[in-house]
Amino acid sequence: MLPKSQRKWPTIEKEALGIYYSITRMKLYLLGREFIVQTDHCPLRDIHKKPSNNRRVDRISLVLQQYNIKEIRHVSGKCNCMADYLSRFPRQVEDDDEFLESDFGIIPAIKNDIDTIQVDKNKSIIPSFISAVTTRAQARAQAPHTPSNNDTQSLNHESITDDLPQQEAGHEFDITTIAEAQKGDKLYKEKNLEINKNPLNCFYVLENDILYKINNRGIFQQKLIYIPASMIQQILNAYHNSPWAGHFGDRRTYSKLKDKYWWPNMKITIQNYIQTCMLCQQFNINRKKPVGLLHPIEPPKGPCQLIGMDYSGPFPTTPEGNKYVLAITDYFTKWVIAIPLPNQTALTTAEVLYEHYICIYGVPHTILSDHGPHFNNQLITAFTQILGYHHIKSTPYHPQTNGAIERFNSTFERQIAKLTDQCVNNWDMHLKSVVFAYNTGQHATTKFSPYELQFGRQPKLPPEKSTTSISQYEKKSTIL
């Protein structure tokens, strides 16, 4: 399906575009080989030999010069049936087609198997055919659980397929719950004996019957709560699957856990857990940086000096009427604000910028945006003059200029998709949770979370019942 702009092209340009797409699609097979192109559009017969009177067609022919095209042969439309058929929309089949009502293929077979699945209420209801492979060593490490008749329930395929993206494991655990779980753990008993024998040369400490791991990081000494094997799954579910965790990757998940908890092979466990997350494997993409020199914007010297803002959308309209997102990011702290909106007019832009940023963080020194009509208009120009900030615009058709906000847009769209109920299109309900997860995760550039750089302290996350005391923060700030 061509985009709206290309559908307005003349016929000769669309036919040339079709030849270009077909050849580049088969590039691996055609490079270095002589081949013939067949088309039912006669004016394109000689585009590989001489220029035409159309600039767009000439540019396409220049790109095709790398191929060894022997001939562009004209065939009549009735002899080009296969290509003509594939370029048409598929026939709309009526709902009462008896042939399509029959169950065929893998999906019906899977549904039949799921109908009889019995699962434990306290466990994740991910079917075995989509779970990752578990080794025998991992299976032995997991505590066996035999559910009784009272704590199991029958699930049909509708409940699994519909509710799976919305699953949230219970993560109401506090220090008392962890202490109870530690008492039945094998490593807890071993370290308890080790502490009693030689407490001075031990990297563990026991306080109020709770085992802590002593971790020396520079001039700081941290006491990390030991998480027993029986609670690792619950911890990871809370710090990865919950809405405020946002289904981010292993680096951000580990950065939120490493200053609070510890267990053996912690990094590997987190990586394996996220690699088996069905939603992450479905929506995440591999990013490879292209070869070349980076030309970054000169970093500001403090927060609220340079901010970028950009719209993304339109998205499916929510019950609240929202279909756009205006994102604002601070280039120094990487702090992000994202607001769902029903439109992207200049008036809406000015109101959101004033209410959600300026009235909270103050007037920035410089704002960077693109040349969209919602940013480049008389209202925003007058707004800029009244408040006294500089408004600079990126190079036209070069979104890399405002790369920080463009990168966030691509990130939050994937994270929103993992949490949204596709039947309701309630993505705006999860937007704040995803932004919170982003702001509280460690940024790859600064090695700090945007929350820490914005507020000067680590955030208290929902599962945490106890955090570092104010006196400890004052002690650290005095040392710094």
What's the CATH number where 189 sits? Answer: 1.10.340.70
Q: pLDDT band for position 341 (50/70/90)?
A: very high
The pLDDT tens digits for 92-141 are 544 444 433 444 444 444 444 444 334 343 443 333 333 333 444 444 44
Radius of gyration from C-alpha coordinates of the chain: 29
Q: Is 156 in a helix, a strand, or coil?
A: coil
- Whether 411 is covered by a domain: the verdict is yes
Q: State how far the Cα of 177 lies from the Cα of 225, in Å rounded to an integer.
A: 12
- Kindly state whether residues 182 and 263 are assigned to the same domain: yes
Give domain status of residue 93, yes or no. no
Reported as a single tens digit per residue, the pLDDT across 51-95 is 888 888 888 888 888 888 888 888 887 777 777 667 665 555 444
Q: Are residues 32 and 124 in the same domain?
A: no
Grade residue 159 by pLDDT with cuts at 50, 70 and 90: very low
The better pLDDT of the pair 11, 250 is held by 11
Tell whether omega for the bond before 314 is within 30 degrees of 0, i.e. cis. Answer: yes
Does one domain contain both 24 and 50? yes
Residue 275 lies in a domain: yes
Choice between 225 and 146, residue whose per-residue pLDDT is larger: 225
Q: Yes or no: say if 345 and 380 are a contact pair by the CB < 8 Å rule.
A: no
Residues 46 and 182 in one domain: no
Q: 162 with 179, same domain?
A: no
Q: Quickly count: other Cβ atoms within 10 Å of residue 271's Cβ.
A: 16
322 plus 444 within the same structural domain: yes
pLDDT of residue 95: 42
Task: For 374-403, give the DSSP string.
Answer: TTSSHHHHHHHHHHT-EEEEPPTT-GGGGH
Q: Under DSSP, is residue 340 helix (H, G, I), strand (E, B) or coil?
A: strand
Q: Which residue has the tokens 């507020």?
A: 455
181: closest CA among 227, 237, 238?
227
Q: What pTM does this model have?
A: 0.49
| 143 in the same domain as 250 | no
Kindly compute the dihedral angle of the four CA atoms of residues 160, 164, 166, 170, in this order, to the nearest 10 degrees. 100
Lowest average pLDDT, out of 230-239, 401-410, 470-479, goes to 470-479
What range does the domain containing 71 cover?
Answer: 4-86
Please report whether residue 314 resides in a domain.
yes
User: How many domains is the chain built from?
Assistant: 4
Whole-angstrom Cα distance, residue 110 to residue 1? 32
Is residue 205 within 8 A of residue 159, CB to CB? The reply is: no
User: Exposed, middle or buried by CB within 10 Å (0-12, 13-18, 19+), for 319?
Assistant: exposed
Mean pLDDT of 341-365: 90
Domain annotation covers residue 462: no
Cβ–Cβ under 8 Å, residues 247 and 277: yes
Residue 471, pLDDT > 70, answer no
The pLDDT mean for the chain works out to: 73
- Residue 69, domain member (yes or no): yes
CA distance 236 to 263: 12
